[in-house]
Amino acid sequence: MWQDRTLTMRYRRHDEVTRTVEPYGLVLKNGVWYLVGKVGEDFRSYRADRVTSVEPTGDTFERDPAFDLPSFWAARAAEFVRQMLRETITIRLSPEGLRQLRFVAEAVAVRAATDAAKEPDPEGWVETQLPVESMDVAYSYVVRLGPDAEVLDPPDLRARVAAAAERMRNLYR
């Protein structure tokens, strides 16, 4: 990579593919390494632990001076998270809950919830839509926000959180 050498790489997805890659950099995200490289005219990322073999082609390449690895990775990571967020819950958040949401949910989901927030009620609570990966993830978010979040929809999630609150109330009696 440091010598701008083109690689032939075998990569395992649901099948195994071969790619000729111009490697631009490595990124560490949550303990997982990714190779970012140019394939044809496109920049792509590959999980390093799915690379099964690498061979130098003997060719070198000229780096695109306009390429910015941090910007590419930020956009790629945001798109990945957006694709994961397949469900939406309706919640009410206290002013503190709204502040704490950024410590609980993915940044993309927090921005979406902030953009979708209605005007605060007289107590400062806001109703909003929060995109989530799954109802299990939504449950963990709401439980972490505690009394600063109220699930309005879906009813099953509201009931699940209410049951957890009742168990906690009984535990601390």
Q: Write out the two tokens for 142.
A: 């709401």
Amino acid at 47: R
CA distance linking residue 6 with residue 17, whole number of Å: 16
Band (16; pLDDT cuts 50, 70, 90): very high
Could you read off the pLDDT of 122-153 as tens digits, one per residue?
A: 999 999 999 999 999 999 999 999 999 999 99
CATH at residue 61? 2.30.30
pLDDT for 14 equals 87
pLDDT at residue 30 above 80?
A: no
| Residue 58 shares a structural domain with residue 122 | no
Q: Residues 42-97: pLDDT tens digits?
A: 999 999 999 999 999 999 999 999 999 999 998 888 787 778 888 999 999 999 99
CB–CB of 60/3 below 8 Å? yes
Is residue 91 within 8 Å of 149, Cβ to Cβ? yes
* Residue numbers of the domain that contains 122: 85-171
Instruction: Give the tens place of pLDDT for each residue, 156-171.
Output: 999 999 999 999 999 9
Domain ends where: 81, 109, 131?
A: 81
Beta strands in the chain (DSSP E): 5-12, 16-29, 32-39, 42-47, 51-60, 87-93, 126-132, 149-153
Q: What is the pLDDT of residue 81?
A: 73
Residue 77: what pLDDT?
80
Asked if residue 98 and residue 41 are part of one domain, the reply reads no
